[in-house]
Amino acid sequence: MAPGGDQCDQQETILKDLIRANAGLLFAGVATFVMMGAGQSLYGPALPAFSRLFGVTLAEAGVLVSAHWVGCFIGVGFMYLKGGVVTPRHALAAMAIGAAGVAALAGWWATIAGAVVFGLGYGMSTAVFNPRVLRAFADKGPSMLSLLNATFGVGAIAAPLIFVALGSDPRWSFGLTAALAAVIWLFAGPAGRAGAAPAAEVRAFKPHWGIMAFGLVAIGMEACLIGLGPTALIRAGVAEATAAELLSAFFVVFLLARVGLIFVAHRVAPFVLYTASIAVAAVCALGSALVSPAVFFVAMGAPAGLFFPGFYVTASGKMGEDLRVPPTIIAAGLVGGIGAPLIVAPLMAGMGERGFFWLVAGVTVTLTVAAVLSLRRMRV
């Protein structure tokens, strides 16, 4: 027993030393991801309010979700070109300005522009923090990446509840998001350029189109669940306030799944994790369509929380540590995040009360089959 105990103590000491050495990066990352979760999860419950305020249909209001993801794509594209000079403060400044623009409700197009700018900072943050944390914590990187992304769920849980408590008013909720981004900006200086570049020589940059296709579809489904899920619940007969509360419950399950992943991420092959999460999502989507939209929508938070970690770690293993790799990986997901809500939102109007969940079920079942057939090729 002694050798095993000594090894565990040694691993714990190494992890503590890594946390101390990268405390600034970890604090800025955790705080930023909490705020990102809050900002993204507000769009779903706020769509009916935007529809009323600006006199647009729910489908037209759904453009805000895509505007957010368009901004993300632009931010990731900028990181591809200039990622070496971007710091966490640049990303936080963009999110603060964008959230303030949405909160101002200065007009429909001005609000869309605010969502784009918020998304710009969101995309930059994703490409700034994920690879830095993965590198900084060495063999513990996948577990710490899970921790970082788990904190996204904290903000995502709280934001819809706060939105309802504030009278379902986007001005207050997005205003608070802007204020939080500004506060984090003040304390993000120590994160600086920590872990900005790999320490060792890296192999030539070569995209892996297969894993990027898997990420595109999965993140597209995640974007639809978060952005359009509350609207789908309302169409299925759930009250607006209840739909917002169910979205918070979705993110509770989402968070629990990512917290659990912290302890097993380094033990499970990342693409096996991806495949299992898609399969469970398919089962939950069928449950939403056939049994209870509310219960199974909340349950779907668990597999949805695992889409990105399984995809990101697999893609990183396949594509290496070139500075262009993280933006490329994230861009693949963002193509799905932008396109899927644009495609699904108009389709919902003609698909019946539970049509959204049938659509999600069809996509995830098909994706599960493709992933199972690709398990051997996706080993890292």
pLDDT in tens, 184-204: 998 877 555 555 555 555 556
Query: How many angstroms separate the CA atoms of 358 and 13, rounded?
Result: 49
- Report whether pLDDT(140) > 80: no
CATH classification code of 19-190+202-373: 1.20.1250.20
Rounded mean pLDDT, 66-88: 85
Query: How many angstroms separate the CA atoms of 278 and 318, rounded?
Result: 20
Most confident stretch, 72-86, 197-211, 269-283: 269-283
**Residue 121 confidence (pLDDT):** 95
What tokens appear for 342 in the block? 């644009």
- Report whether pLDDT(375) > 90: yes
- Report whether pLDDT(117) > 60: yes
Rounded mean pLDDT, 351-365: 92
- List, in order, residues 6 or more apart from 52 with CB less than 8 Å away: none
pLDDT digits (tens, 9 = 90+) for 84-101: 788 888 999 999 999 999
Query: 294 pLDDT band (50/70/90 cuts)?
Result: very high
**Residue 109 confidence (pLDDT):** 95
Query: 65 pLDDT band (50/70/90 cuts)?
Result: confident
C-alpha distances in angstroms, 215 versus 8, 159, 209, 310, 371?
A: 34, 26, 10, 9, 11
**Residue 217 confidence (pLDDT):** 95
**Residue 8 confidence (pLDDT):** 56
**Residue 262 confidence (pLDDT):** 80
What tokens appear for 37 in the block? 């979760």
**Residue 317 confidence (pLDDT):** 86
**Residue 15 confidence (pLDDT):** 58
**Residue 204 confidence (pLDDT):** 65
- Report whether pLDDT(13) > 80: no
Rounded mean pLDDT, 326-339: 85
Average pLDDT taken over every residue of the chain? 85
Query: How many angstroms separate the CA atoms of 333 and 193, rounded?
Result: 25
117 vs 142, which has greater pLDDT?
A: 117
pTM (two decimals):
0.75
- Report whether pLDDT(68) > 70: yes
Query: 276 pLDDT band (50/70/90 cuts)?
Result: very high
Rounded mean pLDDT, 294-308: 94
The least confident of 215-219, 223-227, 319-323 is 319-323
**Residue 21 confidence (pLDDT):** 57
